[in-house]
Structure 1
Amino acid sequence: MLTKIITRGWRASSYLLIRFVYGTATIVAAPFALLLGWAIPGVTVGLVRFANAEHTAANRYLELAEQPQLPAAAQRKAFDVSALARDPSFRRSLWLLPLSLLTFIGLFVAVFSLLAVPSALLGMVLWKLDPGQFTLAGLAVHTWGDAFTLGPLQMLTGVAFLTWIAPAAATAYASAIKKALAPSPAELETAQLAQRVEELTRSRAGAVDSHGAELRRIERDLHDGTQAQLVSLAMRIGVAKQLMADNPEKAAELLDDARDGAEQAMTELRGVLRTMYPPILQDRGLSGAVSALSARSPIPVDLRVGELGNVPAAVEAAAYFVVAESLTNVSKHSAAGHVDLLLERRGPELYLAISDNGIGGARIGDQPDLLGRGSGLRGMMHRVEAIDGHLELTSPIGGPTTVEVILPCGS
């Protein structure tokens, strides 16, 4: 029982003492923050962060689950007072100033709770050294009767503070901080919408870049491959036409070459079209297409495919290319001996996970790493984000590497 009282009182008193230190710093820094905050955006950013830190500390003391915090301070230019005044996070953070004044009361409660009993014991023993100069329970001690009357009274009061007053004061202050600095539902919704817009803007920008790169690749493939074949084909037919009357055998030979060139051009054209939307998806569906990719992989693949239901074409294509790119990366860079591939429907979402037991260390970046990894993963992420999906890569050094993809399929 005594241990529980001391632990509870010590925790409350420690919280009040730390809040006093931070509260004093807030009161001292507040005038400078108000004077400089309108001119230096970083000051208000720091104020909001400090308010969130105090809010987190209050929730931790109250032993509550993690609560929503104030959104980050609004982006603004220096001297933009209008944007500063409209920032709800900044306005709510200003509650720290009046609340900091309460920490002086908390200081008295914490100090008395912790020192009442020790100081009473010392006063009861040492008052004789200077009678009338030692006080117990706020009264001067002149006799042993005063010492043995006021000393126990101060100790009982100190125990009461440690048991009830300090925890109550700490709880009241933490609750006030929590209520004052917690964002309103409207502010949370606005912040979430702003974050969502930022994410969509970033994902759409990445999708546009990826789409542009894809178009340039298709154009390059058509220009360097199919177009060259067709030009050569036209030239051979033209020469054959000129030789038809004088040298029919040579003309026939050129026409045979032109036929071979036409077949090669068709093959290359089908290859380009296959990178846009693989025909196998149309013929065998996503399950069959992924099975074909797994069968062609030089590394053994343990494939598990659940019930997929009706999957939109864009989602099928994204999932197919993620599997294709992942298996290619595994075979080229991972030094893995086995791959686990899971594809299943989870409610309105398609879930895809590709894991290998290779060397790990893969990272998503605009530029490939020393092993040539990175840019392909970035392209996969752009393709997934373009249809509002989510890709997560886990690849510690030494492995294993896991790519998890969630793609929305509608209701």
Structure 2
Amino acid sequence: MLTKRLSRGVSACGYLTIRYLKAVVLMAATPISVLFGWLLPGVTAGLVRLANSELDRAGKFLGQSEAPQLPAAAERASGDLVTLFRDKSFKRSLRLYLGVLAMVPELFIAVFAIFAAPSAVLSGVLWPIDPGNFSIMGLGIDSWWDVAWLVPLQAALGLGTLAWVAPAVARGHANAVNNLLAPSAEQLETVRLNQRVDELTRTRAGAVDSHGAELRRIERDLHDGTQAQLVSLAVRIGIAKQVMADDPEKAAKLLDDARDGAEQAMHELRGVLRTMYPPILQDRGLAGAVAALCARCPLPVELRMGELGQVPAPVEAAAYFVVAESLTNITKHSAAGRVDVVLERRGPELYLEITDDGIGGARINEQSDLLGRGSGLHGMLHRVQAIDGHLELTSPIGGPTMIEVILPCE
């Protein structure tokens, strides 16, 4: 128990010492800041960064998993005092100077806690070398009697300070830092909203790009496949019409070919439509559609599915395409022997996990690599982010590969 307390005391003394050194740096930089801070934006931005480092250090000492941080200093032009004094982060950072008032007492406590006991023992051993010139507790040592009661007294005070006083002072200072410097609720909300705007801008841009690529793919499929079949069909019907009177047998054969071409065109058109919104989702729902995908996969697939409840159509489509693209990628590139798929509802979210025992090394790339991998995963990511979902890929070299997807259902 005592060892644990002393260890905490050493940590507290380290915190107080570093805090003192930062205060010294702050005081040394103050004249330059007063003279040029209004002119140089980097000076005032540095004050905000120093405040954030104090918040981070205090949070770590108090055992907080994530300390709140002040937003970065507002961008301003040189000499722009209006923006400077409107900057809430800068004004809150000025409270760092209140900590300067306690820097010397805190350093004294830290130094006394660390060195009181060792210095007492050392003085008690070395005093015979020069009697009267060694002191303990401010009292000169002239006899072993002085050593007998002064050494234990200073050692006990030092250890007590190290075990109880220093941690209490350090905790008090860390709490004061949080109370004085931590951003206000309004600032935190502003930061959250700004991050949300940035995230939405990024995901919507990705969704637009993905949507554009999907439209180009559909146009290419229609142009290269269905349109070519329909043109061929029109030509055959036209020829059959011309030769019908002179050669009915040849016209009948051309019409049979045209019928086959029409069926093939309809088949290709249905294939294109399935990539837009698979009819199987409408017919069987997400559970049946995913089960059908797993059943058609050439690899053994273990599907574990929970109760899904009511799932919005965009979420159904996103989950279906993630499963379809993942199974296709695994079949083509992973050299896997089996696949595990988990699909379940977790409160307001739909959770999807796809794991294979393949070679791993999958990455999300803008373009396909030399083996043709990566771009499909990039499209999956855009599709998931477009509905505010989250996709995480874990694929170390040698495997296994795991894709986790969380999609909001409300």
Fold similarity call, TM over 0.5: yes
Within the alignment, does 1:206 sit opposite 2:202 as a pair? no
Partner of 2:229 in structure 1? 229
Distance in 2 separating the partners of 1:3 and 1:255: 96
Check conservation: 1:44, 1:73, Cα contact below 8 A.
no
Taking structure 1 as reference, are residues 403 and 65 closer, same or farther at Cα in structure 2, changes over 3 Å only?
Answer: same
Partner of 2:295 in structure 1? 295
Deviations along 1:216-265, one digit per CA (max 9) or x if unpaired, are 11111111111122222222222322333333333333222222222221
Check conservation: 1:38, 1:78, Cα contact below 8 A.
no
Partner of 2:343 in structure 1? 343
SS of the residue aligned with 1:392? strand
Structure 1 alignment gaps of length 5 or more: none
CA positional deviation for 1:394: 1.2
Taking structure 1 as reference, are residues 60 and 296 closer, same or farther at Cα in structure 2, changes over 3 Å only?
Answer: same
Within the alignment, does 1:398 sit opposite 2:398 as a pair? yes
Taking structure 1 as reference, are residues 309 and 68 closer, same or farther at Cα in structure 2, changes over 3 Å only?
Answer: same
Check conservation: 2:59, 2:67, Cα contact below 8 A.
no
Partner of 1:12 in structure 2? 12
Q: Structure 2: which amino acid aligns with 1:230?
A: L
Taking structure 1 as reference, are residues 322 and 65 closer, same or farther at Cα in structure 2, changes over 3 Å only?
Answer: same
Within the alignment, does 1:274 sit opposite 2:268 as a pair? no
Taking structure 1 as reference, are residues 312 and 170 closer, same or farther at Cα in structure 2, changes over 3 Å only?
Answer: closer
CA positional deviation for 1:184: 2.1
Check conservation: 1:384, 1:390, Cα contact below 8 A.
yes
Q: Map 1:329-368 onto structure 2 (within 5 A).
A: 329-368=329-368
Partner of 1:253 in structure 2? 253
Partner of 2:263 in structure 1? 263
Q: Map 1:302-317 onto structure 2 (within 5 A).
A: 302-317=302-317
Taking structure 1 as reference, are residues 17 and 261 closer, same or farther at Cα in structure 2, changes over 3 Å only?
Answer: same
Taking structure 1 as reference, are residues 75 and 283 closer, same or farther at Cα in structure 2, changes over 3 Å only?
Answer: farther
Distance in 2 separating the partners of 1:193 and 1:100: 34
CA positional deviation for 1:44: 5.5
Partner of 2:190 in structure 1? 190
Deviations along 1:336-361, one digit per CA (max 9) or x if unpaired, are 10000111122222111111011111
SS of the residue aligned with 1:102? helix
Distance in 1 separating the partners of 2:157 and 2:354: 65
Within the alignment, does 1:65 sit opposite 2:74 as a pair? no
Distance in 1 separating the partners of 2:377 and 2:42: 35
Distance in 2 separating the partners of 1:324 and 1:380: 10
Q: Bigger CA drift: 328-337 or 76-85?
A: 76-85
Partner of 2:174 in structure 1? 174
Taking structure 1 as reference, are residues 270 and 164 closer, same or farther at Cα in structure 2, changes over 3 Å only?
Answer: closer
Distance in 2 separating the partners of 1:212 and 1:136: 81
Distance in 2 separating the partners of 1:373 and 1:34: 57
Distance in 2 separating the partners of 1:246 and 1:182: 93
Check conservation: 2:55, 2:67, Cα contact below 8 A.
no
SS of the residue aligned with 1:388? coil
Q: Bigger CA drift: 40-49 or 355-364?
A: 40-49
Check conservation: 2:55, 2:69, Cα contact below 8 A.
no
Partner of 1:240 in structure 2? 240
Distance in 2 separating the partners of 1:382 and 1:102: 52
Partner of 1:106 in structure 2? 106
Structure 2 alignment gaps of length 5 or more: none
Within the alignment, does 1:321 sit opposite 2:351 as a pair? no
CA positional deviation for 1:212: 0.5
Q: Structure 2: which amino acid aligns with 1:288?
A: G
Distance in 1 separating the partners of 2:5 and 2:264: 87
CA positional deviation for 1:312: 1.7
Q: Bigger CA drift: 94-103 or 321-330?
A: 94-103
Alignment length (residue pairs): 408
Taking structure 1 as reference, are residues 286 and 133 closer, same or farther at Cα in structure 2, changes over 3 Å only?
Answer: same
Q: Bigger CA drift: 383-392 or 363-372?
A: 363-372
Q: TM-score, normalised by structure 2?
A: 0.88
CA positional deviation for 1:367: 2.0
Q: Structure 1: which amino acid aligns with 2:298?
A: P
Distance in 2 separating the partners of 1:220 and 1:81: 57
Partner of 2:381 in structure 1? 381
SS of the residue aligned with 1:318? helix
Partner of 2:54 in structure 1? 54
